[in-house]
Amino acid sequence: MKEKLSLYVHIPFCVRKCRYCDFLSWPAEEEEQERYTAGLVCEIRSLEAAAGRFLVDTLFIGGGTPSLLSEACMEKILEQLHRTFEFEAGAECTVEANPGTLTVSKLSAYRRMGISRLSLGLQSASDRELALLGRIHTWQDFLNQFRTARQNGWNNINVDLMSGIPGQTADSWRETLESVCDLHPEHISAYSLILEPGTELWRLYGDGEGSSGDTRRNDRGCIGELPPLPDEETERSMYRMTRNILSSHGYKQYEISNYCLDDFSCRHNIGYWTGKSYLGLGVGASSYLDGVRFQNPAAIDDYRKACRADRSLIPPDGRESQTGYIVTEICDRKAHMEEFMFLGLRMTEGVSEQSFQDTFGQNIHDVYGPVISRFVSYGMMQQSGGRISLTERGIDVSNQILAEFLLN
Amino acid sequence: MTVINENHIRNFCIIAHIDHGKSTLADRIIEMTGLLTSREMQAQVLDNMDLERERGITIKAQTVRTVYKALDGEEYIFNLIDTPGHVDFNYEVSRSLAACDGAILIVDAAQGVEAQTLANVYMAFDHDLEVIPVINKIDLPSAEPERVKAEIEDIIGLDASEAPLISAKTGQNVREVLEQVVHKLPAPQGDADAPLKALIFDSLYDSYKGVIMFCRFFDGKVRPGMMIRMMATGVEAEVVEIGYFGAGQFIPCDELSAGMVGYITASLKNVKDTRVGDTVTESERPCGKALPGYKKINPMVYCGMYPADSAKYTDLRDALEKLQLNDASLQFEPETSAALGFGFRCGFLGLLHLEIIEERLEREYDQELITTAPSVIYKIYRTNGEVSDLTNPSNMPDPSEIDHMEEPMVSAEIMVTSEFIGPIMDLCQERRGVYQSMEYIEKTRALLKYEMPLNEIIYDFFDALKSRSRGYASFDYEMKEYVRSDLVKLDILINKEEVDALSFILHASTAYERGRKMCEKLKNEIPRQLFEVPIQAAIGGRVIARETVKALRKDVLAKCYGGDITRKRKLLEKQKEGKKRMRQFGSVEIPQKAFMAVLKLDDE
């Protein structure tokens, strides 16, 4: 039987860099996009030999803004993917789209190409907040595209939302949530804004106290003409509000930032958290195969060079010579255990004691007993039905908890 | 090397009050005797510790041998020992003096005779040294050499009529000093044929050579290959290398004999085998009686020193042992703290000494340290009649067992420009100082004298003094007697548990204010935890101040990073790494810097 595999395809282009964005993306002319597409097709083709052992069950085309690509480019990519890889019937295939770049024609084309899931980057229903984030679309643009997609037959749509935006209030966040819920998308991802070094917002709001784990950053308040970042208390109430409002509309939280109706959870993302194999295609894309984490080069020239030849994947021993990949981590048993925990605990159903036992041949409590009981005693973790998970309070401070699952 | 006639050797040191120009004169002497050309001269050759150059002070006595061609046409060997001027390092001075036959006393032509001038000159007399006075800084506009000459005669009782008037800075008249060294200071006495008798006056540890002993040879001679014995420790060893001191380097030679100053190495790796003050002799032909050695000196200030990483306890011990070899006045013994684990209670001669040791441990020995609040020695009179010394606040007996306590006083002298007299007097007042006198040294400079408790100046008095005088005040103190005092122990409770390393003893009248400030400071230093953490200050179980570190509300790593799990892991690792710099205390994590921050409470 063939191995299940998730594919990630990175499209590094956007109309304009959003002010919070630290992903690998940049504005580019059509010609550059075509050149990139050609390179990507080359890369996929170069994996012809390696692809034979896999059966693809999820595909995620992310960015950047994949919807920026012309239909022709997208078609070439999809065509090559299907030529090189075998796809499972009913595979989950997602494309990310920016409402400012979508057209009716693109929407129909994606469906024709076998894409079944649409992920729309909205972030906020407030045009003022959208402008502050540097988004290229308005709430109305989004609304139009959403409705067009529905009319077009898209029945699995995700909407990305963001809390903690400068100037955002609990009321405006509520407004965003309610407005989106009224549209009944099948899936909602609600992230908190994180100021990342190198972004425009980082420059504008300073680096706070520095590390991403430092929540005092938000005490900085208003700088110059800019609206202040919501304080920590407001941010937390927004987080609680997200849970309450979404659940009142029938959404269930299945991961720290992800909510869905019925069983519309994102299988691709769940793959990341459950240690499933995935292969990243495109510049800087990350892969995880046979216990090794590796990446394509993040510089476009290096990337092009890397995928010219008949390409082999990284072997389990992590030898990267001739592959063109950069190995970031060879997961030993300890690293596996750590990932099992810090990824698994992101999901509301948590981790299964039995599955830990099956995977590692060791009782989870022999390894993590003291940490688990400490956080259970703090009311931040819970154990029931053979599963261990974070409580709501635990999710609030999940970083602090997950870090404790790194072994010494 | 030709045989050296001991009549042509001069062993001498330079003594002075701090800042009167010792190191500068030493530099000039080295330069003028041709050991280094002026191009090779780096200012203050003998202050070779980075710390000394940065602070512009001499911490360690340094020895250098130069050859001087005198006006009589003869060549003389000068063994010059540069000594520290600060009161905290008196002990260094006294050790160096034992290696000398004479001393140059430098007095600043503007400032005249000062506290350390006297202290050092009396020490020189105690060692029967011949002293020649020199008046330095005559190039200053405010120089008054005649007045200073009179001071030297009146206060010290030294004939200053022939004292050279020099500027060590410009080199003016320095030759006259050199001539006086030749003609006025005695040549060493001693019998080169008698059994070896040498005094270890300093030592340091070299990772290749082992212990390097700095010796003054009184009788006999030493050669490589000879078996020697340390008279106090009884340790015997074979001499590997001997030599004398160049500027900043060791120069090996074949023989050292009576009257000389030089070093011996004997592959001694155990720092305890050699003690400064011990006498070195020959194994086969030991000398009759050991040299008198040094008085053991008593520390004035104590504090706890702990390795930042508790696993590095033995490293810290090794570092302290090696440092002690180089600074015999440092004392330490192991102690344990519930909050900080295993560490050492260290005794220092004063605050500057404490600071210097701390910095040397960090720079020269790569130790990351947590130091606890410094403490003076309190005398405890118990109800049962017993009297004891208390150096660690944690050991304070229950108040019901204490009849009364005494604390040491100092007489403090603060030199300050007139515009800052007000703020400095306020500061002294706040620190329980009792005003003694004020005299104007110059039109714009006054000398303030206060009686103060030592415990009020060991925290952050220097810093406060500097910040309130914009750096213009200088400060010196001298120990006085113990006086009865209303003292209490202030405890800090974090999450309802007493943190022993934060306890300290203070006057009851200042307890509330200090307790409040401590709590405030700790509140800012302790990051928010997963739950609320109360911080309390208490005296004998009664809470007098409280602050709360609010619980961490939200810390979610939400983003997915397109499957870049390694990046996620790195963020978590960074978070975990940050915790390593914390001390787990019960369920609370206290950053190391919190222990230090509470030592500096005088913020403007």
Distance separating alpha carbons of residues A161 and A269, to the nearest angstrom = 16
Please check whether residues A231 and A341 belong to one and the same domain: no
Long-range contacts of B468-472 (CB under 8 A, 24+ apart): B468/B420, B468/B423, B468/B424, B468/B426, B468/B427, B468/B604, B469/B416, B469/B417, B469/B420, B469/B423, B469/B424, B470/B420, B472/B416, B472/B417, B472/B420
Could B579 and A403 be called an inter-chain contact, meaning their C-beta atoms sit closer than 8 Å? yes
| CA–CA distances in Å: residue B440 to residues B152, B416, B473, B542, B580 | 20, 10, 14, 47, 53
pLDDT band at B391 (very low <50, low <70, confident <90, very high): confident
Strand pairing of B504-507 and B9-16? unpaired
Taking the alpha carbons of B268, B272, B276, B279 in that order, is the dihedral positive or negative? Answer: negative
CA angle, residues B337, B338, B341, in degrees to nearest 5: 60
The CA-to-CA distance between both ends of chain A, in Å, stands at 38
Whether A370 maps to a domain, the answer reads yes
Contact A153, A112 (CB under 8 A): no
Distance separating alpha carbons of residues B178 and A178, to the nearest angstrom = 93
Q: For chains A and B, what is the number of CB pairs under 8 angstroms?
A: 118
The CA-to-CA distance between both ends of chain B, in Å, stands at 63
Range of A86-100, B244-258, B538-552 with top mean pLDDT: A86-100
Kindly state the helix (H) or strand (E) to which residue B463 belongs, with its residue range.
helix B461-468
Distance separating alpha carbons of residues B397 and B164, to the nearest angstrom = 58
Contacts of residue B197, defined as CB under 8 A and 6 or more positions apart, other chains included, come to: B217, B218, B219, B220, B279, B280, B281, B287, B291
Among A273, A299, A319, identify where a domain stops.
A273
Whether A295 maps to a domain, the answer reads no
- Rounded to an integer, the average pLDDT of B250-264 is 89
Shortest distance between the Cα of B470 and any Cα of chain A, in A, equals: 30
Distance separating alpha carbons of residues A163 and B517, to the nearest angstrom = 38
Tally of helices (H runs) and strands (E runs) in chain A: 16, 15
Residue in A288, A395, A399 nearest the CB of B565: A288
Please check whether residues A164 and A263 belong to one and the same domain: yes
Omega into A64 within 30° of 0, i.e. cis? yes
Shortest distance between the Cα of A337 and any Cα of chain B, in A, equals: 12
pLDDT band at B54 (very low <50, low <70, confident <90, very high): low
Instruction: Name the residue type at position B573.
Output: E
User: What backbone torsions phi and psi does residue A251 show, to the nearest 5 degrees?
Assistant: -90, 135
Contacts of residue A59, defined as CB under 8 A and 6 or more positions apart, other chains included, come to: A6, A7, A8, A9, A81, A87, A91, A92, A93, A94, A268
Interface residue A163 vs chain B (CB under 8 A): no
A382 vs B298 pLDDT, higher one: A382
Please check whether residues A92 and A12 belong to one and the same domain: yes
Kindly state the helix (H) or strand (E) to which residue B144 belongs, with its residue range.
none
B169 vs B297 pLDDT, higher one: B169
- Rounded to an integer, the average pLDDT of B377-400 is 91
Distance separating alpha carbons of residues B216 and B202, to the nearest angstrom = 10
Could A329 and B569 be called an inter-chain contact, meaning their C-beta atoms sit closer than 8 Å? yes
Kindly state the helix (H) or strand (E) to which residue B200 belongs, with its residue range.
strand B197-206
Distance separating alpha carbons of residues B327 and B324, to the nearest angstrom = 5
pLDDT at position B301 over 90: no
Contacts of residue A165, defined as CB under 8 A and 6 or more positions apart, other chains included, come to: A123, A124, A129, A132, A133, A193, A230
Q: What is the pLDDT of residues B306-357, one digit of tens each?
A: 998 888 899 999 999 888 877 777 889 999 888 888 999 998 877 777 888 8
Read off the CATH number of the domain in which A40 is found.
3.80.30.20
Shortest distance between the Cα of A30 and any Cα of chain B, in A, equals: 24
User: What backbone torsions phi and psi does residue A91 show, to the nearest 5 degrees?
Assistant: -60, 145
- Rounded to an integer, the average pLDDT of B436-442 is 84
Shortest distance between the Cα of B371 and any Cα of chain A, in A, equals: 25
Taking Cα atoms as reference points, which of A294, A276, A295, A275 lies closest to residue A285? A295
Torsion of CA B153, B158, B162, B167, to 10 degrees: -80
Whether A197 maps to a domain, the answer reads yes
Which of A270, A295, A402 is best to mutate for the B interface (most B CBs within 10 A)? A402
Contact A393, A380 (CB under 8 A): yes
Read off the CATH number of the domain in which A355 is found.
1.10.10
Please check whether residues A82 and A185 belong to one and the same domain: yes
- Rounded to an integer, the average pLDDT of B437-465 is 84
Interface residue A236 vs chain B (CB under 8 A): yes
Distance separating alpha carbons of residues B59 and A274, to the nearest angstrom = 62
Please check whether residues A372 and A264 belong to one and the same domain: no
Shortest distance between the Cα of A223 and any Cα of chain B, in A, equals: 22
Contact A91, A55 (CB under 8 A): no
Distance separating alpha carbons of residues B188 and B449, to the nearest angstrom = 42
| CA–CA distances in Å: residue B578 to residues A290, A375, B586 | 31, 19, 18
Contact B306, B369 (CB under 8 A): yes
Whether A324 maps to a domain, the answer reads no
Could A406 and B572 be called an inter-chain contact, meaning their C-beta atoms sit closer than 8 Å? yes
Taking Cα atoms as reference points, which of A9, A83, A86 lies closest to residue A54? A86
Alpha helices (H) along A277-363: 300-306, 333-344, 353-360
Could B565 and A339 be called an inter-chain contact, meaning their C-beta atoms sit closer than 8 Å? yes
Among A221, A256, A273, identify where a domain stops.
A273
Contacts of residue A342, defined as CB under 8 A and 6 or more positions apart, other chains included, come to: A402, A403, A405, A406, B568, B569, B572
pLDDT at position B395 over 70: yes
Starting at the earlier edge strand, list the strands of the sheet with A381-384: A351-352, A387-390, A381-384
pLDDT at position B45 over 70: no
Please check whether residues A257 and A382 belong to one and the same domain: no
CA angle, residues B374, B375, B381, in degrees to nearest 5: 170
Whether A261 maps to a domain, the answer reads yes
Could A280 and B562 be called an inter-chain contact, meaning their C-beta atoms sit closer than 8 Å? yes
Least confident piece of the model among A106-110, B41-45, B99-103, B417-421 = B41-45
Among A273, A299, A323, identify where a domain stops.
A273
Taking the alpha carbons of B518, B524, B525, B529 in that order, is the dihedral positive or negative? Answer: positive
What range defines the domain where residue A178 resides? 3-273
**Which pair of structure tokens corresponds to residue A85?**
């890889």
Strand pairing of A187-192 and A157-163? parallel
Distance separating alpha carbons of residues A117 and A242, to the nearest angstrom = 23
Please check whether residues A83 and A226 belong to one and the same domain: yes
- Rounded to an integer, the average pLDDT of B537-559 is 85
Contact B596, A295 (CB under 8 A): no
pLDDT band at B237 (very low <50, low <70, confident <90, very high): very high
Interface residue A215 vs chain B (CB under 8 A): yes
Please check whether residues A229 and A101 belong to one and the same domain: yes
Range of A240-249, B201-210, B294-303 with top mean pLDDT: A240-249
Contact B1, B95 (CB under 8 A): no
Contact A122, A180 (CB under 8 A): yes
Please check whether residues A95 and A234 belong to one and the same domain: yes
Please check whether residues A187 and A266 belong to one and the same domain: yes
Q: Is B540 left (phi over 0), alpha (psi -120 to 50) or beta?
A: left
Whether A346 maps to a domain, the answer reads yes
The predicted pLDDT at position A215 comes to 36
CA angle, residues B504, B395, B453, in degrees to nearest 5: 45
Whether A232 maps to a domain, the answer reads yes
Instruction: Name the residue type at position B317.
Output: R
User: What backbone torsions phi and psi does residue B422 show, to the nearest 5 degrees?
Assistant: -55, -60
Q: Which residue's structure tokens are 């919190």?
A: B594
pLDDT values of chain A reduced to their tens digit, one per residue, 408 residues: 899 999 999 999 999 999 999 888 999 999 999 999 999 999 999 898 889 999 999 999 998 999 999 999 999 999 999 999 999 999 999 999 999 999 999 999 999 999 999 999 999 999 999 999 999 999 999 999 999 999 999 999 999 999 989 999 999 999 999 999 999 999 999 998 888 888 888 888 875 443 333 333 344 444 446 788 888 888 888 988 999 999 999 999 999 999 999 999 999 999 999 999 999 999 999 999 989 999 999 999 999 888 766 777 887 787 877 788 999 889 999 999 999 999 999 999 999 999 999 999 999 999 999 999 999 999 999 999 999 999 988 998 898 999 999 997
| CB contacts, 8 Å: B531 with chain A | 378
The predicted pLDDT at position A210 comes to 37
Distance separating alpha carbons of residues B160 and B175, to the nearest angstrom = 17
For B335-354, the DSSP string reads EEETTTEEEEEEEESSHHHH
What SS3 class is residue A231?
coil
Number of domains comprising chain A: 2
| CA–CA distances in Å: residue B25 to residues B16, B20, B98, B250, B428 | 11, 10, 21, 22, 36
Range of A227-241, A250-264, B414-428, B587-601 with top mean pLDDT: A250-264
Residue A229 DSSP class: P
**CB-count burial class (<10 Å; 0-12, 13-18, 19+) for B82:** buried
| CB contacts, 8 Å: A295 with chain B | 564
pLDDT at position B59 over 60: no
| CB contacts, 8 Å: A403 with chain B | 572-573, 575-576, 579
Could A399 and B568 be called an inter-chain contact, meaning their C-beta atoms sit closer than 8 Å? no
Distance separating alpha carbons of residues B69 and B76, to the nearest angstrom = 6
Contact A188, A196 (CB under 8 A): no
Whether A281 maps to a domain, the answer reads no
Least confident piece of the model among A364-378, B184-198, B274-288 = B274-288
Our measurement of the distance from residue B272's CA atom to the centroid of its chain's CA atoms, rounded to an integer in Å, reads 21
The predicted pLDDT at position A214 comes to 35
Contact A125, A90 (CB under 8 A): no
Please check whether residues A235 and A353 belong to one and the same domain: no
- Rounded to an integer, the average pLDDT of B104-129 is 85
Residue B167 DSSP class: B
